[in-house]
Amino acid sequence: MQTNRKFRLVDTIYLVMMVLPIVAGIVLNVLTKPVSEGVSITGARIFFTIPMPLQDLPVTEAQINSALVMITLLFFCLYLTHGLTEKCERKRQHLAELIVEKVDALVTENMGDYFIGFAPFIIAVIALSAFSSLLSLCGLFPPTSDINVVGGWAVLVFGLITYYKLKCGPLNYLKGFTEPVAVLTPINIVSELATPVSMAFRHYGNVLSGSVISVLLATALSGLSSLLLSWLPGFLADIPLFQIGIPAVLSIYFDIFSGCLQAFIFAMLTMVYVGGGFDLDLYKQRKARKAQKIKTNSMEE
């Protein structure tokens, strides 16, 4: 009995800590957001700036909200994995195992068995991106609407792409810029450098455009209500009739479907670029030559 109470207590703590960061973000947003009239479309607000030797570091709304999402995901994972058993007795364990199986299958299908260790990274990218975009449903600034956030993700992915290309040998990496013909080398270099730029702007642009369109449509519907109901007496003229239900339906696409879709696309591009830039057979041949060289040197000594 006491063990069950401790188990439920830990579950309660995890559930509270999942919700608490979002509630804290909403409270912070209400207390710090300036009052504005009409349509207001702005970027991430700067809360404070940390002095640095080369350049000051601004702490923005996007960074704070990203941290809140990561805390929420941390306790969500702890909740799913709390009390795991061999027989899989709880529904949460079924959900956790289903997520692991689907992500492992997705990574294996798009990257191969060699990259099965990428599964935690891929699901982390999907979850962080999707939950960050869904913050707009709570009235918070979605971090994916800040080019600095998604730009950082794209640079990280670009580093992974370059790392796995270099695993096949620096000369092979440089040789790739001359294929199929040497005259295309400048274009291949530009294409390589454009990879993180295109990934960042694709994700950022789609999420931001959805937020902007939602605000504009809500404002337009409010004006339409005032125009058509202005002849009614008293408070009836102020009822935002066309804002009831319609923005919620529109947000299903702009906030939920589009946000989750862009998270999936970003993860797919990560798998395609990393897996496509790594030649496993060439890597094995290079590794075998190195092993043979070491063996030959040791025999000569």
Is-cis flag, bond preceding 170, omega within 30?
no
State residue 67's pLDDT score. Answer: 94
The residue ranges of the chain whose pLDDT is under 50 are none
| DSSP for residue 185 | H
User: Tell me, what's the pLDDT at 88?
Assistant: 78
**Tens digit of each residue's pLDDT (9 = 90 or more) over 128-155:** 999 998 888 887 888 988 888 999 999 9
Residue 129 pLDDT: 92
Give tens-digit pLDDT for 220-255. 777 776 666 666 665 555 666 666 666 666 767 777
**Structure confidence at residue 233 (pLDDT):** 60
Q: What are residue 240's phi and psi, to 5 degrees?
A: -80, 75
Around Cβ 276, how many Cβ atoms within 10 Å?
A: 13
DSSP per-residue string spanning 15-55: HHHHHHHHHHHHHHHHHHSPP--S-----PPEEEEE--SSS
What's the pLDDT at 98? 92
In whole angstroms, give the CA distance from residue 48 to residue 59: 6
As a whole number of angstroms, the distance between CA 70 and CA 33 comes to 22
* pLDDT number for residue 244: 64
Rounded Cα distance between 214 and 254, Å, is 7
- Note the pLDDT of residue 291: 81
Helix pair angle (119-134, 147-166), 10° resolution: 170
Q: What is the pLDDT at residue 253?
A: 73
